[in-house]
Homo-oligomer: A and B are copies of this chain.
């Protein structure tokens, strides 16, 4: 990781207690990535493709209640970021296969760290939410 301009990315600035400028925030890779894969379907698609290449309708069935529109959009976005490849075979009708790129595959590791955390702590979060919601209905006497 080289930082040529003498500044570090946003989150690191914050960790060093420095203020964060507008320009840095726009460029923050973490914010950028989280907003990319933080949408409703990207992670699901990446994880499914982590098991191997899939055709469009295979994905559509695997993720059941994703709309065609959103599956297309999600795949296009992942493709644009170089995480997924799209291969068209000139059959009739056309066959299209999606697969993770090498870059996409490197995301599986960090992702599983987060998914493991989510699974391990879902109960605690659920309990915290319920307690919090009850508190504001009947404020503590």
Q: Say if the beta carbon of A70 comes within 8 Å of chain B.
A: no
Give the copy number: 2
Establish whether residues B117 and A107, one from each chain, have CB atoms under 8 Å apart when the complex forms.
yes
Report, as a range, how many residues of chain A touch the other chain: 35 or more
**Chain A interface, DSSP helix/strand/loop, else mixed:** helix
Residue of A47, A106, A115, A116 with most partner-chain B CB within 10 A: A115
Give A81 to B81 CA distance when docked, in angstroms. Answer: 31
Residue of A14, A113, A133 with most partner-chain B CB within 10 A: A14
Q: Say if the beta carbon of A61 comes within 8 Å of chain B.
A: yes
Show 26 residue pairs from A and B whose CB-CB distance is below 8 angstroms, ordered by the A residue.
Answer: A11-B43, A11-B44, A14-B47, A14-B48, A17-B51, A17-B62, A19-B61, A19-B62, A19-B64, A25-B65, A29-B115, A29-B119, A30-B114, A33-B122, A34-B43, A34-B114, A37-B38, A38-B38, A38-B39, A82-B124, A82-B127, A82-B128, A82-B129, A110-B114, A110-B117, A111-B114
